[in-house]
């Protein structure tokens, strides 16, 4: 179980940002977030879907073997207690009970996501300018856009991303602030 509140420092290829997680917002999601950060999961992980005015999404491991382990450990949904306003962070999902490792940072007020079950777990407290500067030139992922295909990221990892999408930004490390 995660502490009731903790901060995380994300070092990225664009700079540093800090987030504050609060367990009261989404206990299951915050517990998973703490577990992922503590395990070093987000090191060398790409911001593979950055859509200006919408979200910056990350959280597919650059190592397919590590990613496969976590995909088999989905967590149940939390009731939505917060709102997907600019700077908040929520788990991405493909339907009920499918949250694993992927997160997105809201780049604008996306309160329409609240009713779709996206429960915020944290909020950017420092460095939102860094988040807003993440490379978004590839747009939506394949097949709807020219960005990375999530299935290819999962099966081929950073070899695929760095070879085909060289301008992506990455989390270089993420750690709990003591």
| Domain residue extents for the chain | 5-176
Secondary-structure percent of the chain, ordered helix, strand, coil, rounded to 5: 25, 30, 45
The whole-number pLDDT of residue 39 equals 96
What's the chain's average pLDDT?
Answer: 97
What number does CATH give the domain 5-176?
2.40.100.10
- Say how far apart CA 96 and CA 69 lie, in whole Å: 20
pLDDT, tens only, 98-125: 999 999 999 999 999 999 999 999 999 9
Asked if pLDDT for residue 69 goes beyond 90, the answer is: yes
Q: Give the angle 28-29-32 at the CA atoms, nearest 5°.
A: 90
Q: How far is CA 9 from CA 18, 68, 97, 174, in A?
A: 5, 25, 27, 6
The whole-number pLDDT of residue 80 equals 97
pTM of the model: 0.97
The whole-number pLDDT of residue 75 equals 97
Asked if pLDDT for residue 178 goes beyond 90, the answer is: no
Burial of 112 (0-12, 13-18, 19+ CB in 10 A): exposed
Residues 104 and 92: beta-carbon distance below 8 Å: yes
Percent of the chain at pLDDT above 70? Answer: 100
Please give the average per-residue pLDDT across 86-101, as a whole number. 97
């Amino acid at each position: 179980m995660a502490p009731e509140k903790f901060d995380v420092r994300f070092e990225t290829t664009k700079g540093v940002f800090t987030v504050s997680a609060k367990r009261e917002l989404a206990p299951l999601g915050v517990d998973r977030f703490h577990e992922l950060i503590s395990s070093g999961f987000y090191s060398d992980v790409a911001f593979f879907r950055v859509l200006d005015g919408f979200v910056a999404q990350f959280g597919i491991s650059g190592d397919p073997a590590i990613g496969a382990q976590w995909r088999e450990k989905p967590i149940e949904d939390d009731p939505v207690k917060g709102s997907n306003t600019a700077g908040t962070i929520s788990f991405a999902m493909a339907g009920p009970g499918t949250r694993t490792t992927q997160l997105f940072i809201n780049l604008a007020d996306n309160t329409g996501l609240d009713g779709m079950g996206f429960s915020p777990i944290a909020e950017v407290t420092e460095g939102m300018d860094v988040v807003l500067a993440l490379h978004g030139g590839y747009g939506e992922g394949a097949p709807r856009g020219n960005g990375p295909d999530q299935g290819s990221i999962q099966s081929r990892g950073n070899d695929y991303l760095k070879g085909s999408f060289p301008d992506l930004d990455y989390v270089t490390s993420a750690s709990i602030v003591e």
